[in-house]
Structure 1
Amino acid sequence: MSELRITELLQAWQRDGPGAADALARQVYMVLRETALRALRRNARGGLQATELVHEAWMRLEQGQQGFQSRAHFYSVAAQQMRHLLVDLARQQASAKRLGQAVTLTISLSDGAPRPEALLMVADAFDKLARVDERTAKAFALTDILADVGQLAPAIALQRSLADCRT
């Protein structure tokens, strides 16, 4: 699918074009699922599947329908939503633990996967960095989820040649 076609679908979706949401979802689903798989590998959350993460992120994207300027901008916002969802889940798990509620341990939480507290510490560090340098914080947050610098560069409006120099 060409970038132009996805951008056209994004524009139609934002105008509430008939069938645009379904057509867009079909076109971008695999990329969003790959992004979710990467996010879950790096920030494993017990019981959460990639499909669930994609669907939750999609619902947030539908609610917020920002003015997406391009495919890269859309994927960037989707990746950020996935990260926010994982941080929210970690906060819920940490809160349940503090309140003495039972926390179900799954194999993904006991096999060396990051603990919710670790994810919250990283999220807090990103928040502090964002107050100092928002663009750098966004770049670090997205490199945690996006596959390569080719996806990161347009997401933070960085020229590809400069992005290649920094890797």
Structure 2
Amino acid sequence: MKPTTRGTLAAVVTGVAATVGAAAPAAASGTVPVPVPLGGVSQPLDMKLPRLGAELPLLKPGVPEGPRYVTGRLVPDRTVPRLPVSSGLPGLAARTPLPHLLDDGFDHLDVDSPTGDLRTVTPGLSVDAPLTAPDGGTFGLPGARVPQTGVLPPVLRTVADGNVGTGPGL
């Protein structure tokens, strides 16, 4: 094996190991941190720039509610089941300098919105056939009736939280 091939293989294995090692803590916590690196821009521009960071939640699907069999109906209730999904609201952490107008000092403005729980249930569908169940009075034949459909509404539960504040210094 050539040395360049060995070096390339070692670089690929190192990259895969680093990716797997970084993904495990994010999957365990349920959020992925997203830093916004602005530090390199502040030096060339000779300015104070904001510090930004965010957290993106990971979606966790739940177990769908199965169909329920109801007596007197040919098609089960909840024909298209609703799927529960839990996640979180995205988080934001920002801090920006506020320059003084008359001197060289700075104050700061903080915006902090931590991730919050978000629980949803997707819409579902309930359909009933245009026939009744077979009946002994009609020689075992089903009767005709108006078809019925119903949309099971989606559900969304969350609590959003955030702080905005100012203070002296950076």
State whether TM-score is above 0.5.
no
Q: TM-score, normalized by length of structure 2?
A: 0.21
Higher relative contact order (CA 8 A, sep 6+): 1
Which structure has the greater CA radius of gyration? 2
Q: Which has the higher helix share?
A: 1
Structure 1-normalised TM-score?
A: 0.21
**Higher fraction of strand:** 2
